[in-house]
Amino acid sequence: MTLPKHVRIVEVGPRDGLQNESEPVSTAIKIELIDRLAAAGFAEIEAASFVSPRWVPQMADGSAVMAGIRRRPGVRYSALVPNLRGLEGAIAAGVDEVVVFGAASESFSQRNINCSIAESMDRFRPVAAAAKQAGLSLRGSVSCALGCPFEGAVAPSAVADVVARLADLGCDYIDIADTIGVATPNHVLPAFEAAVRQFPLERLSGHFHDTHGQAIANVMAALECGVTIFHSSIAGLGGCPYAPGATGNVATEDLLYLLQGLGISTGVDLEATVAIGQWISERLGRRATTRAGNALASRQARLAASRLAAIQTAVPSPCTSVCTIDPSTGRCAGCGRTLDQIARWSVMSDDEKRAVLATLPS
């Protein structure tokens, strides 16, 4: 089995993740999430959608999000656009890449973008041409490539057909998406085999939702097919509002843990990513949906607690009971430490504590 040495991760949490939140997420949190992800080493971040706010209200602030982020050199910020109006918004907001999103199933196409697959391609054609003219990277997404919530199984030939049409539009990259997270690894190879007959493997990506807990196994299957681009969502956030029952993408923390274990580089800092996953989950008021992220966060918390305990116990406090401040000296009547020294004792290094002890009357 030959696995790639390097994998590119497209972090889709700010878009695919947050779009499914039922409560409004503030623009400030979206901006902070994107900036934190860029600082952790993500070179591709799906930051916004320029879709109808009537269809996806959570994504209505795409322009404000793009205006608020600190653009980090070398990072590609992408956004979904369903039509020319969306493209105009995305260009004005300064995105680097736009994503046209089609589907391999007619029913999902109707539910998600209110038109047939053929109509969607007619709609995407001027979008693709204008995006190219504006010098933007163009990505095409094939939703329900591995199963549809309305039609069930999807034939690899249907995937090949949509990939061919997106390739014809001039897409630079094409995503093979398991929108509802139903696939098992044996479905992955036929879908990619069909896609690769129409489009270069090195520009195809795997976009796996984790509804049935199969996303990491599907990533592994795709790696074995030679796929080198994967989408994932911080803390496993997300789902598609028009795909009933679908949960979030494969969690970025789980993906990074797998790739690190396999010795595959990504350029992303796992520890920083775990911290971001915990941070955004706290903001959203729930536990992160990532086994690796939660396990690593618990481990980090245990290590921090034991380090603190070691600091606290290595040089014991000179007062065995509670200190009592003498107002005339501003020091503890028992041990002689100042109020500030008592307050900071638990966070001082052993050397600092010894230095303080040396100044106290014996």
Catalytically active residues are 240
56 sits near ligand HMG (criterion: CB under 6 A): yes
H or E element: which one contains 171?
none
177 sits near ligand HMG (criterion: CB under 6 A): yes
Q: Using CB under 5 A, which of 16, 97, 253, 254 touches Mg ion?
A: 16
Minimum distance, C-beta of residue 209 to Mg ion, in the bound complex (Å):
6
**For 17, which DSSP code?**
I
351 sits near ligand HMG (criterion: CB under 6 A): no
- Which residues inside 118-147 make contact with ligand HMG, applying CB under 6 A? 141, 143
Beta bridge partners of 8: 229
Minimum distance, C-beta of residue 237 to Mg ion, in the bound complex (Å):
11
Binding site partner of 192, from ligand HMG, Mg ion, none, Cβ cut-off 5-8 A by kind: none
Q: Using CB under 6 A, which of 79, 121, 183, 240 touches ligand HMG?
A: 240
Binding site partner of 50, from ligand HMG, Mg ion, none, Cβ cut-off 5-8 A by kind: ligand HMG
Q: Using CB under 6 A, which of 42, 50, 199, 230 touches ligand HMG?
A: 50
Minimum distance, C-beta of residue 247 to Mg ion, in the bound complex (Å):
10
Give phi and psi for 352, each to the nearest 5: -65, -40
Contact segment (CB under 6 A) with ligand HMG among 79-87, 195-203, 287-295, 325-333 equals 79-87
Minimum distance, C-beta of residue 243 to Mg ion, in the bound complex (Å):
8
Minimum distance, C-beta of residue 133 to ligand HMG, in the bound complex (Å):
18
Among left, alpha and beta (phi > 0; psi -120 to 50; other), residue 108 is alpha
Which residue type occupies 156?
Answer: P
List CB contacts of 55: < 8 A, sequence separation 6 or more: 241
Binding site partner of 49, from ligand HMG, Mg ion, none, Cβ cut-off 5-8 A by kind: ligand HMG
From residue 155, alpha-carbon distances to 58, 304, 306 in Å are 32, 51, 54
Identity of the residue, 177 or 332, whose beta carbon is nearer to Mg ion in the bound complex: 177
For 176, what's the count of Cα atoms within 13 Å in the CB-facing half-sphere?
38
Burial of 256 (0-12, 13-18, 19+ CB in 10 A): buried
List CB contacts of 302: < 8 A, sequence separation 6 or more: none
For 299, what's the count of Cα atoms within 13 Å in the CB-facing half-sphere?
8
Question: What is the distance, to the nearest Å, from the Cα of residue 292 to the centroid of all Cα atoms in its chain?
Answer: 14
Identity of the residue, 89 or 318, whose beta carbon is nearer to ligand HMG in the bound complex: 89
- Which residues inside 288-327 make contact with ligand HMG, applying CB under 6 A? none
Identity of the residue, 16 or 97, whose beta carbon is nearer to Mg ion in the bound complex: 16
- What whole-number distance in Å separates Cα of residue 226 and Cα of residue 166? 21
274 sits near ligand HMG (criterion: CB under 6 A): no
173 sits near ligand HMG (criterion: CB under 6 A): no
Residue 358: Cβ within 10 Å count: 8
The contact set with ligand HMG (CB under 6 A) reads 16, 19, 49-56, 80, 82-83, 85-86, 89, 101, 112-114, 141, 143, 177, 179, 207, 240, 242
